Amino acid sequence: MPFQLFNSLSGKTEEFAPAQDNLVRFYACGPTVYDYGHIGNFRTFVAVDVLRRHLLQSGRQLLHVMNITDVDDKIIRNANQKGVPIGEYTAKFEKAFLEDMDALAIQQPERISRATENIPEMIALIQGLAKKGVAYQAEDGSWYYRISKFPEYGKLSKKDFTGLITDGSGRMDADEYEKDDARDFALWKAPKEGETSWDTAIGPGRPGWHIECSAMAMKYLGESFDLHAGGEDLLFPHHENEIAQSEAATGKTFARHWMHVRFLLVEGQKMSKSLGNFYTLRDLVLMGHKPSSIRLLLMSVPYRKQLNFTFDGLVQAANSVERLRNFKIRLETSQWAEGNNPEAAAVAKNAVTEMRAALDDDLNTAQALAAIFDLVRDVNAMADQGKVTKGDIPALLEALTKFDEIFGVLQDHDATHIKATVEWARRENREEKISAAALEMAQSASFSDADVEALVAKHSEARKARDFKTSDAVRDELLAQGIILENTKDGVRWKRK
């Protein structure tokens, strides 16, 4: 079955394939770098990452563009408060965001593009709209988009705007009084006192919210491209306005397919600072939660379904990752009898087939996960019965590789990331937020594999001599460093906590 993906534009699940060649051209709205990323942000980015990885595994090539919004009201306000240029202010959060992406094993897009580096492209787009009479300049110098010129306005958000002309109410913000119609939105904002602005052919000012995405998407992907993705809140007005701007300018379909990721709940409620359930990735890591647990939890519910992010769920996800990693370690470290068991190869192949079928079905990650757990259970059982042989291991590991090409949780880099986060917290004077659990997990990152191996060897020797007192002491010593040592009938093995 070809890849099926829900399209917010048509409201239907449709086959998704690139229009030209084998290259998928897509744009995903990135962060506004005014603060550290929270788990809600990362649900969206993880979902897009799953899309990316599935397309790649399906043999597609990608041109994935993500914007970084490095100028907006909040950025200007916060930078002014700190008395630093906005570029300095945003650089810090952009760096933090990229680090967080890495911690969550989110692949980098082929191109990351900053709003402030594409001002000329935006101006050109606005000028084009002005020429067509779709953009107009208000008395204060701001430019607006005239929605009445775009009959299809509302086609993405399925809103009916007829009869909703100028509302005479007091809903309009002070800087919007110049608009001809209440629905019109800003393309270019004239500078206010103390605001960063650019001198341009259409006058001084700064970009409206939506224009950057239209300009950058078309710059790198062309006037018409395959897919546009983002959080569900962006559907209106952001994406609706992007369509209006772009299609009015070019007369062509902007993005053919639209993907929107649903918001998550935290402990059953919408995440908000006032409810006290607002968490950045860094908050959670400092509390002692591994990035891999967070990633798995974010992927465990299909992207179109509301995900209830809870601390209980985080523990469950951590245990699930443990089971998967234990399985991989077992395959890699056990002594296997010579031979081949066609049944094992069949189980491996079947699991991958099922996983991919689930992903082809609108990225059903929950079902894909089930396929891989079936493999784990079946192969563990076969191994206990001595039915797994040396010749089967490559195929089984290959299946796990295929799984991890999508889910990205088997490689254990948690300790390193936790350590980096702990160090960041110290630099930022957030020491009081560092939990004992985080410290313990960070500790094992200071222990190289060679260090561990040396102690493991010491443990094994003592054990061989049935000096359990010494062997247990070494094991406890390792545990105190965040290393778990296990003895199995097939030998000794270790892993980081």
Map the footprint of RNA across residues 184-213, applying CB under 7 A. 185-186, 208-209
Axis-axis angle for helices 291-299, 39-57 (nearest 10): 70
Cβ atoms of residues 207 and 196 within 8 Å:
no
Interface segment toward RNA; rule CB under 7 A; list 37-45, 56-64, 131-139, 411-419: 37-45
Report how far apart, in Å, the C-alpha atoms of 386 and of each of 334, 343, 399 are: 12, 13, 20
Q: Token match 């700190």: residue?
A: 82
Dig out the tokens for 428 from the structure.
Answer: 């930022």
- Report, in Å, the least distance between residue 431 CB and RNA: 27
Residues in region 431-490 near RNA by CB under 7 A: 463, 468, 471-472, 484-489
- Report, in Å, the least distance between residue 312 CB and RNA: 5
Give the residue, chosen from 21, 193, 199, 312, that forms a contact with RNA under the rule CB under 7 A: 312
472/487 Cα distance (integer angstroms)? 11
Q: Which of 217, 476, 33, 447 has the alpha carbon at shortest distance from 485?
A: 476
What dihedral do alpha carbons 77, 78, 82, 84 form, nearest 10°? -80
Instruction: Please report the beta strands in 60-157, taking only residues with DSSP state E, as ranges in sequence order.
Output: 61-68, 111-114, 135-137, 143-145
Q: Token match 């935006």: residue?
A: 122
Among residues 188 and 422, whose Cβ is nearest to RNA?
A: 188
- Report, in Å, the least distance between residue 22 CB and RNA: 28
Per rule CB under 7 A, is residue 294 in the interface with RNA?
no
Per rule CB under 7 A, is residue 293 in the interface with RNA?
no
Q: Token match 């701007």: residue?
A: 245
Report how far apart, in Å, the C-alpha atoms of 261 and of each of 5, 407, 479 are: 12, 17, 40
Residues in region 219-278 near RNA by CB under 7 A: 230-237, 261, 263-265, 268-271
Q: Which of 118, 108, 77, 114 has the alpha carbon at shortest distance from 94?
A: 114
Residues in region 163-182 near RNA by CB under 7 A: 182
- Report, in Å, the least distance between residue 61 CB and RNA: 25
Residues in region 113-152 near RNA by CB under 7 A: none
Among residues 358 and 422, whose Cβ is nearest to RNA?
A: 358
Dig out the tokens for 490 from the structure.
Answer: 């097939």
- Report, in Å, the least distance between residue 128 CB and RNA: 21
- Report, in Å, the least distance between residue 426 CB and RNA: 26
Per rule CB under 7 A, is residue 32 in the interface with RNA?
yes
- Report, in Å, the least distance between residue 436 CB and RNA: 20
Among residues 22 and 487, whose Cβ is nearest to RNA?
A: 487
- Report, in Å, the least distance between residue 279 CB and RNA: 10
Among residues 312 and 338, whose Cβ is nearest to RNA?
A: 312
285/159 Cα distance (integer angstroms)? 40
Per rule CB under 7 A, is residue 41 in the interface with RNA?
yes
Per rule CB under 7 A, is residue 158 in the interface with RNA?
yes
Give the residue, chosen from 57, 310, 333, 389, that forms a contact with RNA under the rule CB under 7 A: 310
163/150 Cα distance (integer angstroms)? 15
Per rule CB under 7 A, is residue 353 in the interface with RNA?
no
Dig out the tokens for 415 from the structure.
Answer: 């300790």
330/224 Cα distance (integer angstroms)? 49
Give the residue, chosen from 57, 107, 253, 308, that forms a contact with RNA under the rule CB under 7 A: 308
- Report, in Å, the least distance between residue 20 CB and RNA: 27
Question: Peptide bond before 2: cis, by omega within 30 degrees of 0?
Answer: no
- Report, in Å, the least distance between residue 434 CB and RNA: 25
Among residues 89 and 327, whose Cβ is nearest to RNA?
A: 327
**Number of residues binding to RNA, judged by CB under 7 A:** 80
> What SS3 class is residue 356?
helix
Q: How many CB atoms lie within 10 A of CB 19?
A: 14
Pattern 401-420, RNA, x by CB under 7 A: --------------------
Among residues 446 and 488, whose Cβ is nearest to RNA?
A: 488
| Count of CA atoms in the C-beta half-sphere (13 A) of 322 | 11
Distance of CA 264 to the CA centre of its chain: 13
Per rule CB under 7 A, is residue 92 in the interface with RNA?
no
Per rule CB under 7 A, is residue 323 in the interface with RNA?
yes
Among residues 18 and 230, whose Cβ is nearest to RNA?
A: 230
Pattern 367-406, RNA, x by CB under 7 A: x-xx--xx-xx--xx-xx----------------------
Cβ atoms of residues 324 and 409 within 8 Å:
yes
Could you tell me the sign of the dihedral formed by the alpha carbons of 147, 150, 151, 152, in that order? negative
- Report, in Å, the least distance between residue 344 CB and RNA: 14
- Report, in Å, the least distance between residue 12 CB and RNA: 11
Helix (H) or strand (E) holding 28: strand 23-28
Task: Encode burial over 333-371: b for 16+ CB neighbours within 10 A, e otherwise.
Answer: ebeeeeeebeebbebbeebbebbbebbbbbbbbeebbeb
Per rule CB under 7 A, is residue 332 in the interface with RNA?
no
182/164 Cα distance (integer angstroms)? 9
- Report, in Å, the least distance between residue 287 CB and RNA: 18
Give the residue, chosen from 177, 305, 332, 423, that forms a contact with RNA under the rule CB under 7 A: 305
Give the residue, chosen from 150, 220, 258, 327, that forms a contact with RNA under the rule CB under 7 A: 327
Residues in region 45-74 near RNA by CB under 7 A: 72-74
